[in-house]
Amino acid sequence: MALLLRSFFLLTVLASLFVRLHGLRNRDEIVATFDVDTAIRDIILDHGFPLRENPVKPPKVLSRAIYFQRPECSRPSLVMPYALSSEVLLYLDQAIEPSFERRFIYLDKSWEAQNRFAMYFEWSKNVFLGGFGKPRYFAERTALLVAEPSDCNRSDAIDWQLVWNRERKPVALGAKRADFGDQGPGLAMGSS
């Protein structure tokens, strides 16, 4: 029994080292080839939705939010990339009204509330399985917060997992981009 327990711990340590080393090796590739902000914009534009201008400027956290307008919605929707280790709930009241519906998305999973443990599990699983072949997703530790007005249908039509998909073909931003200065009601212009 003791030998079985020791073997289990050894395999756990080796698997965690493998995940960590593989993640570090892929980090250089990710930094060189992956930009989450561009990926989000490309996916929104691929669906034919115009981008809206973000009134919050760097270095504020909310400056990373990307606004877009869906035709059936009276107000713009918001997508904000954030690090898996971040607590974004602190910024939600500054960015959106409580009536907006929120979803937290990472790879091919989504949650109604922020769930960092589940997101780290998905990241670890992707990195581990990627060690046995080319992974489907970039192992970027960036999740998405999608907030939409409650009067809209949920935008399940937008496949957000494409943000991390290695096979996604980006579009030319200049060809489809449309900026609008007015953000509409419901989106706070406060700072973070």
Q: Which helix (H) or strand (E) holds 36?
A: helix 36-46
Calculate mean pLDDT across residues 32-46.
86
Bigger pLDDT: 172 or 60? 60
CA 51, 157, 87, 117 torsion-angle sign = negative
Euclidean distance between CA atoms 40 and 54, whole angstroms: 14
Euclidean distance between CA atoms 10 and 127, whole angstroms: 19
- Residue 86: name the closest of 101, 68, 64, 56 by CA: 64
Helix axes 116-130, 2-33, angle to 10 degrees: 90
Answer yes or no: is pLDDT of 183 > 60: no
Cα distances (Å, whole numbers) of residue 58 to 23, 55, 70, 74, 99: 29, 10, 25, 27, 26
Bigger pLDDT: 28 or 46? 46
Answer yes or no: is pLDDT of 24 > 70: no
pLDDT the model gives residue 155: 55
pLDDT the model gives residue 27: 57
Rounded (5°) CA angle 96-98-99: 100
pLDDT the model gives residue 178: 41
